Amino acid sequence: MKTNTILFPALSLLAALLLTPGCGRDPVSTSIKAIEAGDLKHAETLLIQILEQDPSNASAIMNLAIIHLENGRTDDALAGFSKVADLAPEDSRALEYMAAILSDNNRWHETGLVLNEADRRTPNSPAIQTALALVDINTTNAASATTRLLQVLARNPSYPPALFNLAVIERDWLKNPAEGRKYFQRYLAVAPTDSHAVIARSAMAAKTVAPPTGAPQPVTSRTTPAHITRSIPAPATTEPATSAPPLPRNPAEALEACRLATQFHQAGNYEKALQEYTRAIRNDPGLTRAHFNLGLLYRTRQDLQAARTSFETVLKLSPAMTDARYMLALVMTEQGKDDEAVKQLTAIIGKNPNHADAHLALGLLYKKDKTKLSLARKELSTYLKLQPDSPKSKEIRNWLKYQ
C-alpha cells in the first residue's frame, strides 16, 4: 500500500539502558554516562573490559549491543540482544530491541516470534502490543491489528502510538475516514508536541488514500526516533547469503520447548533436554537459540559431528554470532581439523580484536606447529595483555620465557 501517512514506531530505542544493581559509580554506570554523552568509543572500551572479566554480564552485553546499534552494526547488535534475552529470561527489554531492528528491516515473521516471547515475559505491555499490531498489518490483515490496538486503548486510553496507528489503519486501510479523524483528534489531544503531531494534522487535512484490493501489502515507510540513526549494514562476513529458514509450524510451542530444554540442560538431564531442543527445532527450524544450545549439549556428550552441524546451522541463520563461531572452532580442534579451526578463529579476531579466548585458542593451535611458533608467541602475548590474571597466564608466561 502506498500512503502519505506513516505508522508510529511502536518500540523506541535507547529509551532506557540496562543497569545492574549497585552503586552509581560501577564501570557499567560509567559506560552508560559515556553513551549518554555521545562518547561511544570510550563506552565501548569500558564495556569490553568488563566482559573480559565477566563474559556473562548482561548489563555490559546489553549496552555494548546498544553501541553496535548506534554504529549501524545491526547483526552484532542482534547477537548481543539475543544473548541478553537468554541471560535475563524474565526481562523483555532485549527482545524489544531485537524486534525494533527486525521490523525496521521488514523481517516481520521473525519480529512476531520475538515479540510473542516478549509478551510472555511482560504481558499486556502497550509498546509490545502496539508492535504486534504492526506485525499483524504486515503479515495478516488490518482488522486483527485494529482489534489488538483497541485492546491496548481499553487498558490505556491515552497511549499515543496506539491512537496514531488506529487512525492510520481506519483511514487508509479500512476506508473509515471519520473513524480515522476521531483517533487523530484523540492523539493530538494527548500528544500535541509529539514528533508525529505534524503528520497527524497534515493527514487530517489530506484526502483519504484508498487501500489496494486483495491482501494488504507490507508497510514500508516507517519513522525513526530522532535520537538514533540506523541503516542496513553490509554483511558482517564474506560468507554467501543463505536462504530464509523454513516457516515455523508452531512458534509458541517452539519457544516453550526451548525454555524447558534449557532448564533440563542446566539440571544435567541431557536426554530430556535433547528431546525438548529437538521439539523446538521441529516447530521452528529458525530458532537460533535452540540450535546453539543443542550444539553445546552435543559437545558435552562428545558427539562432535552433531555439535559441529548445530553450530554451522546457527551461523547460517546468524553469521555474526561470535559465540557460535568460537564454539565451532573448538569443536573443529577437537575433531583434529586444526586448519579449519584457524580460519574460524581468525575470522573472530578480524571482527573483534579483543576476543581473548580466540587469541588463546589460536595461539595454542599455532604452538602445535614448530614452523608457526612466532605466530603462537604473538597470539599468546596478546592473550596475556587482554587477560593478565587468568589461571592460564602463569603457564603461558613460562612458555613464552623459554621460547
Residue 219 lies in a domain: no
The residue type found at 138 is N
Backbone phi, then psi, for 240, in 5-degree steps? -65, 150
Residue 222 lies in a domain: no
Q: Is 310:298 a contact under the CB 8 Å cutoff? A: yes
Picking from 142, 135, 18, 138, the residue whose alpha carbon sits closest to that of residue 88 is 18
Residues facing residue 129 across a β-bridge: none
What percentage of the chain exceeds 90 in pLDDT?
A: 14
Question: Has residue 343 got a pLDDT over 90?
Answer: yes
Of 50, 69, 87, which residue is a domain's last? 87
Q: Are residues 346 and 389 in the same domain?
A: yes
Residue 64 lies in a domain: yes
Q: Is 10:133 a contact under the CB 8 Å cutoff? A: yes
> Please, is 298 exposed, middle or buried when counting C-beta atoms within 10 Å of its C-beta (0-12, 13-18, 19+)?
buried
- Using pLDDT thresholds of 50, 70 and 90, give the confidence band for residue 306: very high
Residues facing residue 370 across a β-bridge: none
Q: Are residues 95 and 204 in the same domain?
A: yes
Of 64, 87, 110, which residue is a domain's last? 87
SS3 111: helix
Q: Are residues 98 and 194 in the same domain?
A: yes
Picking from 315, 323, 332, 351, the residue whose alpha carbon sits closest to that of residue 241 is 315
pLDDT at 272: 92
CATH number at residue 61: 1.25.40.10
Inter-CA distances, 89 with 77, 93, 262, Å: 18, 10, 11
Q: In which domain, by residue range, is 292 found?
A: 249-318
Quote the number of domains for the chain. 4
393, three cell numbers: 597466564
Residue 288 to residue 285: CA distance in whole angstroms: 8
| pLDDT tens-digit readout, 130-176 | 888 888 887 767 788 888 889 988 988 888 888 888 888 888 777 88
pTM of the predicted protein model: 0.50
| pLDDT tens-digit readout, 70-128 | 888 888 888 888 888 888 888 888 888 888 888 877 787 888 888 889 888 888 888 89
Q: Are residues 144 and 125 in the same domain?
A: yes
The residue type found at 127 is A
Grid cell 570510550 in the structure block, residue:
42
pLDDT at 8: 58
Residue 123 to residue 373: CA distance in whole angstroms: 56
The residue type found at 356 is A
Q: Is 60:28 a contact under the CB 8 Å cutoff? A: yes
Q: Are residues 38 and 147 in the same domain?
A: no
Question: Has residue 218 got a pLDDT over 50?
Answer: no
Question: Has residue 10 got a pLDDT over 60?
Answer: no
